[in-house]
A = this chain, B = another copy of it.
Amino acid sequence: MGIIGRFLEDFAVGQTFRSGRVRIDKERIKTFAAEFDQQPFHLDEEAARGTFFHGLAASGWHTAALTMRLLVESDLKPAGGIVGVGFDELRWPRPIRPGDESPLESEVLEVRPPKSRPQQGLIKVRTTALNQNGEAVQVLVANLMVPRRSNNTP
C-alpha cells in the first residue's frame, strides 16, 4: 500500500520535490538546545539579545533534524530510505526564528551510476529550507545512496 519508493533509474537531473511544512516552536528550540546545544542564543530570549544573533534562534542541528523529518515525508522517497553518505554543503544563511515555517525545495543535481557496488548508486540533492518570506535559511547538498531496480547483477 503506498509507494515502494524510487530506484536509481527513476531519478534524473533537474527533478524537483517540494515538502510539507513544519512550524519551528519556541519551547522546542529551547529544550532541543538544552539537550544538544547549550548556548545562550538558543536557550533564552533575553540572553540571546546581546549575541551575534540579536534574538533567540534555533540550533542549526535542530533545523537540520526538522529538515530530515520533512524530507522523509516528502515525495523524494528513495527505495531503501534516505541514507546520506555525506554532505557537500550545509549552511545557514539566516537565523531560524521561533514561529518560522519551513517548507523545503529539493532538486536532483546529479545521478551517479554504481561504481564499486553494482546494486546501488548515488544521487546528489540540494535541499533549501525557506522561511515564510521565501528566504533561504538552510542549504543542504546531500549525497544519498539509492538502490538500483535490477538487483540480479552478479
CA distance A62 to B65 in the complex (A): 8
Whether the Cβ atoms of B65 and A37 lie closer than 8 Å is: yes
Residues of B within 8 Å of A82, CB to CB, are 39
Identify A61's interface contact among B38, B64, B85, CB under 8 A. Answer: B64
A131 at the interface (CB under 8 A from B): no
Interface residues on A, range: 20 to 34
Whether the Cβ atoms of B80 and A84 lie closer than 8 Å is: no
A51-105 with Cβ < 8 A to chain B = 51-52, 59-62, 64-66, 68-69, 72, 80-92
A40 at the interface (CB under 8 A from B): yes
List 24 A–B pairs whose Cβ atoms lie within 8 Å, in order of A's numbering.
A32-B65, A35-B69, A36-B65, A36-B66, A36-B68, A37-B65, A38-B72, A39-B72, A39-B82, A41-B81, A52-B80, A52-B83, A60-B84, A61-B61, A61-B65, A61-B68, A84-B92, A85-B92, A86-B90, A86-B91, A86-B92, A87-B89, A87-B90, A88-B89
Q: A37-B65, A86-B90 are in contact. List 18 more A-B contacts (CB 8 A).
A: A36-B68, A37-B68, A37-B72, A38-B72, A39-B72, A39-B82, A40-B81, A52-B80, A52-B81, A52-B83, A52-B145, A61-B61, A62-B65, A64-B64, A85-B91, A85-B92, A86-B91, A88-B89
